[in-house]
Amino acid sequence: MASLASCADDVRSTLPRPVPVKMRTEGLSKHYGTALALHPIDLEVHSGELLTLLGPSGSGKTTLLQIICGLVEPTAGKLFIDAIDRTHALAHQRDIGVVFQNYALFPHLNVFENIAFPLQMRRVDGPSIRAKVMHALEMVGLETFSGRFPRELSGGQQQRVALARCLVYQPSLLLMDESLSALDRKLRESMQIEIKRIHRETGSTIIFVTHDQEEALALSDRVCLMNTGRIEQIGTPEDIYERPRTTFVADFIGISNKLRGRITPESRLATPDGAIPLPAGCAVRAGVTEATIIVRPEHVRIATEGGYLGGHVVERIYGGSETRLLVRLASGAVMTVRQPAGSPSREVGAIVSLHWLESDSRLLDS
């Protein structure tokens, strides 16, 4: 199910121009026998941006990352880094740094030695190594931890060491593969802030792989959402969340209320629970008779009068800063409403009327 292209708010997101392209793929694909793991992909990553590859398991994001860093050979297509064809270059010839999910630190080396290792392999002189390592340690806030071993560090500290080890030799491109997934929620959120700070201070080009939607929205300049080996949508976090182009995007990113129905001559959507107005400024393509309206839970309000749909509260979930209400409509469909703290309380069983601004909804055709 795709977005109606004529909607007034359907703007293709772009970074300010001119911005140099750091990495580009042309028709990059991967077969494993008869299975197509990655359909032909055309993707540009701009210099200095943090692009997140997001998607469920099996969406192709890890396959794409492995092709970029040289661990997997593509079946077809080309890969360019700094306008140089690196499709068949060896991994060590691509000037790429990788932060793995398990950090891959050397257990017999201390923090200083772990970070210094890539510089030693590049035959950097001793004084320069010390200066660069101390600068990298300062960047990740571990100046006093240089003599400790990985076993003496927390998960978050090990992650910072792995990041510093990549940053210390200033690779052209930095890849991070599910690097925060092993951390608890609070530490993961703290590391997200650190990564954003380091990215801003260094101007590094980063490709970050995750299956966590909140992480992608929090970190990214742009999000590349993948599904079944294809790019489903690419854009800023705001574009992806507020202007999904398919029902898959709307479902995968956050929570969406989906109202399916038939478009009437009066420019309304006739649903089993009543007719509702189409989104503001959205013209329907010729021949489209059935569609779905998407409304995010935070845009739905409990109306005192004149609501679009009516139902009763079947569940109330308190979350501190917000309360979620699950409202069952006459047809049996359930809509989610997010109420900020301090809103009038609605208990289970309460009869309510639901309303939203037409500009806060999104129309997708079938």
CATH (domain of 46): 3.40.50.300
Model pLDDT, residue 28 = 96
Model pLDDT, residue 186 = 81
Check pLDDT > 70 for residue 128: yes
Looking at the fold, whether 39 and 146 belong to one and the same domain comes out as: yes
Q: What is the mean pLDDT of residues 283-310?
A: 85
Range of the domain at 39: 21-248
Looking at the fold, whether 84 and 201 belong to one and the same domain comes out as: yes
Query: How far separated are the first and last CA of the chain, in Å rounded?
Result: 5
User: Residue 337 domain-assigned?
Assistant: yes
Q: Could you give the residue ranges of the DSSP H alpha helices within the chain?
A: 61-69, 111-121, 126-139, 155-167, 185-202, 213-219, 237-242, 247-252
Looking at the fold, whether 214 and 194 belong to one and the same domain comes out as: yes
Looking at the fold, whether 193 and 112 belong to one and the same domain comes out as: yes
User: Residue 133 domain-assigned?
Assistant: yes
303-321 residues labelled b (16+ CB within 10 A) or e (exposed): eeeebbbebebeebeeeee
How far is residue 103 CA from its own chain's centroid?
Answer: 21
The residue from 248, 265, 300 where one domain ends is 248
Q: Is the peptide bond before 74 cis (omega within 30 degrees of 0)?
A: no
Neighbours of 49 (CB within 10 A): 19
Single out the residue of 294, 206, 285 nearest to residue 244, CA to CA. Answer: 294
DSSP string of 315-360, one letter each residue: EEEE-SSEEEEEEEETTS-EEEEEEETTSPP--TT-EEEEE--GGG
Higher pLDDT, 305 or 112: 112
Tokens of 197: 């700070």
Looking at the fold, whether 292 and 333 belong to one and the same domain comes out as: yes
Q: CA-CA distance, 45 to 172, in Å (whole number)?
A: 12
Reported as a single tens digit per residue, the pLDDT across 186-227 is: 878 888 888 888 888 888 899 999 988 989 999 999 999 999
Sheet containing 334-340: order of strands: 301-302, 351-355, 309-318, 322-329, 334-340
Q: What is the mean pLDDT of residues 151-165?
A: 89
Looking at the fold, whether 98 and 75 belong to one and the same domain comes out as: yes
User: Residue 86 domain-assigned?
Assistant: yes
334-363 residues labelled b (16+ CB within 10 A) or e (exposed): ebbbbbeeeeeebeeeeebbbbbeeebbbb
Tokens of 160: 């910072």
If one counts the domains in the chain, the total is: 2
User: Residue 1 domain-assigned?
Assistant: no
What length does the chain have? 366
Looking at the fold, whether 202 and 297 belong to one and the same domain comes out as: no
Sign of the C-alpha dihedral computed for residues 67, 176, 251 and 16 taken in this order: negative
Q: What is the mean pLDDT of residues 77-83?
A: 95
Check pLDDT > 70 for residue 366: no
Reported as a single tens digit per residue, the pLDDT across 48-76 is: 999 999 999 889 999 999 999 999 999 99
The residue from 248, 279, 302 where one domain ends is 248
The residue from 205, 220, 248 where one domain ends is 248
Q: What is the mean pLDDT of residues 304-310?
A: 86
Quote the longest CA-to-CA distance of the chain.
77
